[in-house]
Structure 1
């Protein structure tokens, strides 16, 4: 497995996601999640577990969508949990993720409610 940068702060997860997704690195995207993480996608359902999240991202990234870096909203931290979010393009609501500090001090996503847009090409 390739040695990848790890999230030293909860806010790093969003930047690392954009970098890895734009590189087509589904395994690297999945590595940002805990083993039993849950993602609220596809619409109306959930994807549970790092392996299922990796498989989902392989399908999504095969379409070569481009993700732009976004300015995060203020992070809320309570002990080893953090709530990160970014405003969606339409300004309604927000994408939100819950991250947990790992034993080595890095952060991984536990819950993820992304906003997906259909890639244009």
Structure 2
């Protein structure tokens, strides 16, 4: 897929977790970046933070370089407050993710903050 217009968009905040696994396994970096607001933040394994689309793109380019296989985890109940949602997934083998998504003007959801591994 070349343009974000041809990709499925998150109509529920929980959709983002499913999409990220699908796009990681497809090494679809453009599709991964499309899951985030332009000024979103993504926590990196080394303790740094990728801020904004360009840094998030660079992080995912490195992550999918060797084409690792990602397994979906167990979606946890979403906590919503208006246009914000706190999502979390229990990861296979331990640990969890925590994300904050925001409803966009068109009703779809994008991540604002992403901590892909806590408690792990």
Regarding TM over 0.5, the answer is yes
Q: TM-score scaled to structure 1, two decimals?
A: 0.88
Q: Decide whether aligned partners of structure 1 residues 90 and 66 sit closer, same or farther in structure 2, where only a CA change above 3 A counts.
A: closer
Q: Indicate the residue corresponding to 1:26 in structure 2.
A: 29
What is the CA–CA distance in structure 1 between the aligned matches of 2:38 and 2:69, rounded to whole Å? 26
Residue-by-residue CA offset, 1:84-114 (whole Å, 9 max, x unaligned): 001134545x310000000000000000001
Q: 2:102 aligns with which of 96, 100, 103?
A: 100
What is the CA–CA distance in structure 1 between the aligned matches of 2:52 and 2:109, rounded to whole Å? 16
Q: Indicate the residue corresponding to 2:115 in structure 1.
A: 113
Q: Indicate the residue corresponding to 2:74 in structure 1.
A: 71
Residue-by-residue CA offset, 1:9-39 (whole Å, 9 max, x unaligned): 0000000001111001011001000000001
Q: Which runs of 5+ in 1 are unaligned?
A: 117-121
Q: Which runs of 5+ in 2 are unaligned?
A: none
Partner SS state of residue 77, structure 1: strand
Of Structure 1 and Structure 2, which has the larger fraction of its residues in strand? 2
Q: What is the aligned-residue RMSD (CA, Å)?
A: 1.5
What is the CA–CA distance in structure 2 between the aligned matches of 1:18 and 1:91, rounded to whole Å? 16
Partner SS state of residue 114, structure 1: strand
Alignment: residue pair count: 115
Partner SS state of residue 98, structure 1: strand
Q: TM-score scaled to structure 2, two decimals?
A: 0.89
What is the CA–CA distance in structure 2 between the aligned matches of 1:89 and 1:6, rounded to whole Å? 25
